[in-house]
Structure 1
Amino acid sequence: MLTSFALIFVCGVIMKVIMEKLNLPGLIGYMLVGLVLGPQLLNVIDSSVLDMSADLRQVALVIILTRAGLSLDINTLKKVGRQSICLSFVPASFEILGVIIISTLLFSMNIAEAGVLGAVLAAVSPAVVVPRMLKLMKEGYGSDKGIPQMVMAGSSVDDIFVIVMFTAFTGIVQNGEFSLLSFLGVPVSIVLGILVGLLVGKVFAHVNKVMNLSGVYSVLFLISISFLLLQLQTQIEAWIPFSGLIAIMATGLGLRQNNIEVSTSCEHIYTKLWNAAEILLFVFVGCAVQFQSIESVGILALLVIAFGLVFRMVGVFISVFGNALDTKEKLFVGIAYMPKATVQAAIGAVPLSMGLPFGAEILAVAAIAILVTAPVGAVLIDNTYRKLLHKNA
């Protein structure tokens, strides 16, 4: 097991450096490491490590969502409140609709199966987007109108919305029947998650003042709280719709509002934790990909991804319609909502592990979506923000 982790981290770091020299996201290198070291080629990663992949993917999601929450300013969010709320579900809903339309035609899926694929594809990647929005905030691009904050907040909630929709669609496929309660529970789970998270963040901020915890111990507490929130969701979701993931992000936001010094210290540590978690997350995706499945979907996967992105762009423009953003700024928001990686890595293999129809094909399309949209989206964000956004005076 230890040898497997050593190979993953050493090869991952080397590939990250190579990818960055080529101006590509390091996550592409991590996936290639998984493909080469995994069962499809060299098969040198111990099976016990691969058995842990689902839990480690969950940890990676916890880290990136907490980091996003710790970076958000609620006063700025109030300025772009309507747009952030719309961006949290409208583009994803449009993309799911687009994927359902095209995949029922190309893959002969039924609507529920196509909905599972749509939910897998519809999330924007915080792994690609959040670090870049933080960079824009630091450099002062678009911050006067709250564009990086709006994108970061909207994309983080977008992921939660998509995960809830994914759960609803997989439930329909498994049970063979439509459950209206699953969809009605989406807004309830989001609102309840925000309220619980803000309360937990506020309580933790005050407890921290009394205990005077260092940054490292504060992070240990936060991570433990995050795991407990996920367990709370498991315990009560049969009776009360509740999103533990969105509560985790809101906890970071609540801590920032009540203890900025501690939240800043925690944010720095979470950034370092993400560097390790990101490697594991995307290497495991590479390990799970099956070459024969990618071969079977081929060009059809690209058509599904492109069709879904067109629908997503329409959803973005609807979300920011009627506000103070000019056309260039709206276009940038659309570009920022393009990359896919984190959620696809976290849930792309779930339909296959559940034994659902088209599970292998869904994983293959998810992997192709990461390989295509993550580098393209990252390059577009990095090369257009100076042209499309105004720098603060």
Structure 2
Amino acid sequence: MSLHSQHSGNPHYVNHGFQHDDGGKPANGEGPHKKFSMTESMHEKLKLPLPDNIEKSWWFIFCKRCRQEEGAPSWEPPMWQRLCPYPFCPTYRQFARILSLFLIGLLCWGIVYAVLGKTAAPEGQLFGLAVLCIAAHFGGWLMSLTTLPALIGMLMVGILFQNVGLVHIEGEYNEVVTVLRKVALVIILTRAGLDLDPAALKRLRITVPKLGLVPWLVECVVVAVMTHYLMDLPWIWGFLLGSVIAAVSPAVVVSCLFRLRQKGYGMAKGIPTLIIAVSGIDDATSVAIFGIIHSIMFTSDTLVFQIIQGPLSIIGGIGFGILWGILAKYVPEKQDPFVVPLRILMLFGGGLIAVLGSESIGYGGAGPLGCITAAFVSCYFWSKQGWEIEDNPVATAFEIFWMIFEPILFGLTGTQIKINELDPHTVSIGISCLLAGIIIRIISTVFVAIGAKLNLKEKIFVSLSWMAKATVQAALGPVALDSVRDLNRPEEERDFAERVLVICVLSILLTAPVGAILITLSGPRLLKKTTTPVIVEGWRRSARPSLRDISIIDEDDNGETT
């Protein structure tokens, strides 16, 4: 069935693909289709009487932002505009989507209640978790209306629920929360692996590792040293915290850079996509090092075994990822009509068994490495079979998974913070350590970027973009505290774990909004704008920025632009 035949019954369908003859009519004999301009106001299309200059009023702008209109106008039943006038009410498409999600959620709750009983009823723990996740999603949506990252709203909803007594997580549900965070971690790492372009990484074999690893190491060491001397954390706890704090958040960076990319800022040198690629490597490093340190801290094996545990975790994780990625090339067969869902399940299942299985055998650092390696190797072979890096349907599925798990992850992380139990001294010293690490990282990034074909303004922008923390901190911040509780460690270690968690949450609250604002405001001032911005066409749902956009920065060139 052709694309046109699928939509021929929709009077609002916008078709840009017809070939016209010299007379201006479509060559296939079809009648002309009206093309709606995104800059044309909706009330002009619908010819609704509205007062003059209404579009300049603050409430009209706010209502349009809330609507978040999509490309093609939605079909609407008769009388919809009279019952739900523009722009105060959502489109029928948005209303129908929300209603369908509500009905699906209601059905799921009914099934769970029939199976589990009271825990799914109001005042039950499972019911509270479900309400928390829904409220976190809504809080994220409200925060996104301000152009700040939605995850800030999700985190604040979790903190609010915990401190007003709307959610209680205890007993067996602590284990449920831990598993949910590990599933979210698998999704994060898999997305990072699927977004890496092997050909571009080979071409940028010096620039990407240098910008990804050196500033990460600098911030990790600075945080470890300062928390050791200012907060009395043992060295191993300091480096555990440093490995988490040094991670950059793709959840913040990608959305902000994608807006700049659409307007053409930095595209001549592929700066937005270079930053995104480095942040993926940065996150993988953080998770791997954290896993190794965590395994050493919470194992009862001999010193010799602890020493060799790090290299064994690295070798085992990478080895598993390569083998699973090669297997995903042949299983399922590439012409199988169910190849997409089967590959999604293969990659998701492989990531879960890598993370959960490695922890069960005492090699927690191997799992995250195996997860991201399997995604990268799979993506490499699938691209050889014809799937483009930026149009990989498996990556699309993991984007959807992340839409589901993002409010779960950040909402649950917020519930770990009890404001009345926070130590003001810990908070103030923690903020000082975070600021010191960020400032020194920014300075070191500018120096490390020498030779990367970037001018001074571009180096400053790159260094500022890597200050945002969120995703890895939310996924790994509570892990040490969970381990201390499960293993019944001394109260002193519980105090260390709580400090780690508090600083991770502070890093999200402080750096995510500031980082998003700095990227948005400094981009147009520090980056050059191309004359023709990138225009996304076709079926692509988001056109994820790809390393393929990096065309001018090349390792084979010498010299540095000024």
Stretch deviating more after TM superposition (236-245 or 326-335) = 236-245
Instruction: Within 5 Å, give how 1:129-208 maps onto structure 2.
Output: 129-136=253-260, 140-170=264-294, 173=297, 193=317, 197=321, 200-208=324-332
Structure 1 residues 259 and 62: alpha-carbon distance in aligned structure 2, compared to 1, 3 A threshold = farther
Name the TM-score, length of structure 1 as normaliser: 0.86
| 2:400 counterpart of 1:276 | no
Kindly provide the CA deviation profile for residues 100-138 of structure 1, in whole angstroms up to 9, marking residues without a partner as x: 222222212232232222222111112222444455555
- Could you say which residue in structure 2 is the equivalent of 1:376? 514
Stretch deviating more after TM superposition (60-69 or 126-135) = 126-135
- Could you say which residue in structure 1 is the equivalent of 2:472? 343
8 Å contact kept, 1:80–1:150: no
Query: Quick one: which amino acid aligns to residue 254 of structure 1?
Result: Y
Provide the secondary structure at the position in 1 that maps to 2:415. Answer: helix
Kindly provide the CA deviation profile for residues 223-253 of structure 1, in whole angstroms up to 9, marking residues without a partner as x: 1122233356457876996722332442453
Aligned match for 2:230, one of 80, 94, 106? 106
Aligned match for 2:138, one of 5, 11, 14? 14
Aligned match for 1:222, one of 318, 333, 347? 347
Larger fraction in helix: 1
Provide the secondary structure at the position in 2 that maps to 1:89. Answer: helix
Structure 1 residues 27 and 240: alpha-carbon distance in aligned structure 2, compared to 1, 3 A threshold = closer
Provide the secondary structure at the position in 2 that maps to 1:390. Answer: coil
8 Å contact kept, 2:192–2:372: no
Alpha-carbon distance, 1:202 to partner: 4.8
Query: Quick one: which amino acid aligns to residue 164 of structure 2?
Result: L
Structure 1 residues 260 and 376: alpha-carbon distance in aligned structure 2, compared to 1, 3 A threshold = farther
Structure 1 residues 138 and 343: alpha-carbon distance in aligned structure 2, compared to 1, 3 A threshold = same
- Could you say which residue in structure 1 is the equivalent of 2:373? 247
Provide the secondary structure at the position in 2 that maps to 1:211. Answer: coil
Structure 1 residues 259 and 293: alpha-carbon distance in aligned structure 2, compared to 1, 3 A threshold = farther
Stretch deviating more after TM superposition (49-58 or 282-291) = 49-58
| 2:170 counterpart of 1:44 | no
8 Å contact kept, 1:160–1:246: yes
For 1:197 and 1:41, locate their aligned partners in 2 and report how far apart those are by CA, in whole Å. Answer: 44
8 Å contact kept, 2:148–2:516: yes
For 1:172 and 1:233, locate their aligned partners in 2 and report how far apart those are by CA, in whole Å. Answer: 13
Give the number of aligned pairs: 392
Provide the secondary structure at the position in 2 that maps to 1:124. Answer: coil
Instruction: Within 5 Å, give how 1:73-88 maps onto structure 2.
Output: 73-88=197-212
Provide the secondary structure at the position in 2 that maps to 1:81. Answer: coil
For 2:285 and 2:243, locate their aligned partners in 1 and report how far apart those are by CA, in whole Å. Answer: 9
Unpaired runs of 5+ in structure 1?
Answer: none
Kindly provide the CA deviation profile for residues 23-59 of structure 1, in whole angstroms up to 9, marking residues without a partner as x: 3211111111211223x33143554544312211121
8 Å contact kept, 1:164–1:186: no
Kindly provide the CA deviation profile for residues 310-337 of structure 1, in whole angstroms up to 9, marking residues without a partner as x: 2222342343221211112211221221
For 1:239 and 1:34, locate their aligned partners in 2 and report how far apart those are by CA, in whole Å. Answer: 27
Structure 1 residues 212 and 229: alpha-carbon distance in aligned structure 2, compared to 1, 3 A threshold = farther
8 Å contact kept, 2:249–2:468: yes
Structure 1 residues 364 and 156: alpha-carbon distance in aligned structure 2, compared to 1, 3 A threshold = same
Structure 1 residues 249 and 131: alpha-carbon distance in aligned structure 2, compared to 1, 3 A threshold = farther
Query: Quick one: which amino acid aligns to residue 319 of structure 1?
Result: V
| 2:303 counterpart of 1:303 | no
- Could you say which residue in structure 2 is the equivalent of 1:390? 528
Kindly provide the CA deviation profile for residues 130-169 of structure 1, in whole angstroms up to 9, marking residues without a partner as x: 4444555555543443433332232222223223332444
Structure 1 residues 316 and 279: alpha-carbon distance in aligned structure 2, compared to 1, 3 A threshold = same
Provide the secondary structure at the position in 1 that maps to 2:451. Answer: coil
For 1:256 and 1:386, locate their aligned partners in 2 and report how far apart those are by CA, in whole Å. Answer: 36
Kindly provide the CA deviation profile for residues 278-313 of structure 1, in whole angstroms up to 9, marking residues without a partner as x: 101101110112322353412211101001112222
For 2:277 and 2:159, locate their aligned partners in 1 and report how far apart those are by CA, in whole Å. Answer: 32
- Could you say which residue in structure 2 is the equivalent of 1:325? 454
Structure 1 residues 91 and 306: alpha-carbon distance in aligned structure 2, compared to 1, 3 A threshold = same
For 2:357 and 2:223, locate their aligned partners in 1 and report how far apart those are by CA, in whole Å. Answer: 32
Name the TM-score, length of structure 2 as normaliser: 0.62
| 2:490 counterpart of 1:352 | no
For 2:280 and 2:233, locate their aligned partners in 1 and report how far apart those are by CA, in whole Å. Answer: 29
Query: Bigger radius of gyration, 1 or 2?
Result: 2
Structure 1 residues 319 and 194: alpha-carbon distance in aligned structure 2, compared to 1, 3 A threshold = farther
Alpha-carbon distance, 1:90 to partner: 1.4
Structure 1 residues 143 and 76: alpha-carbon distance in aligned structure 2, compared to 1, 3 A threshold = farther
Stretch deviating more after TM superposition (241-250 or 215-224) = 241-250
Stretch deviating more after TM superposition (132-141 or 16-25) = 132-141
For 1:327 and 1:251, locate their aligned partners in 2 and report how far apart those are by CA, in whole Å. Answer: 35
- Could you say which residue in structure 1 is the equivalent of 2:490? none
Structure 1 residues 287 and 241: alpha-carbon distance in aligned structure 2, compared to 1, 3 A threshold = closer
Unpaired runs of 5+ in structure 2?
Answer: 1-119, 121-125, 485-492, 533-562
Provide the secondary structure at the position in 2 that maps to 1:29. Answer: helix
Q: Which has the higher contact order (CA 8 A, sep 6+)?
A: 1
Alpha-carbon distance, 1:176 to partner: 10
For 1:79 and 1:384, locate their aligned partners in 2 and report how far apart those are by CA, in whole Å. Answer: 28
Query: CA-atom RMSD, angstroms?
Result: 3.3
Query: Quick one: which amino acid aligns to residue 472 of structure 2?
Result: V
For 1:216 and 1:330, locate their aligned partners in 2 and report how far apart those are by CA, in whole Å. Answer: 41
Stretch deviating more after TM superposition (141-150 or 111-120) = 141-150
Structure 1 residues 239 and 101: alpha-carbon distance in aligned structure 2, compared to 1, 3 A threshold = closer
Query: Quick one: which amino acid aligns to residue 66 of structure 1?
Result: T
Aligned match for 2:246, one of 122, 126, 130? 122
Provide the secondary structure at the position in 2 that maps to 1:324. Answer: coil
Kindly provide the CA deviation profile for residues 345-373 of structure 1, in whole angstroms up to 9, marking residues without a partner as x: 11111222233351111111111111000
Query: Quick one: which amino acid aligns to residue 245 of structure 1?
Result: C
8 Å contact kept, 2:178–2:482: no
Identity of aligned residues (%): 30
Query: Quick one: which amino acid aligns to residue 287 of structure 1?
Result: T
Structure 1 residues 138 and 294: alpha-carbon distance in aligned structure 2, compared to 1, 3 A threshold = farther
- Could you say which residue in structure 1 is the equivalent of 2:127? 3
For 1:98 and 1:273, locate their aligned partners in 2 and report how far apart those are by CA, in whole Å. Answer: 35
Alpha-carbon distance, 1:5 to partner: 4.1
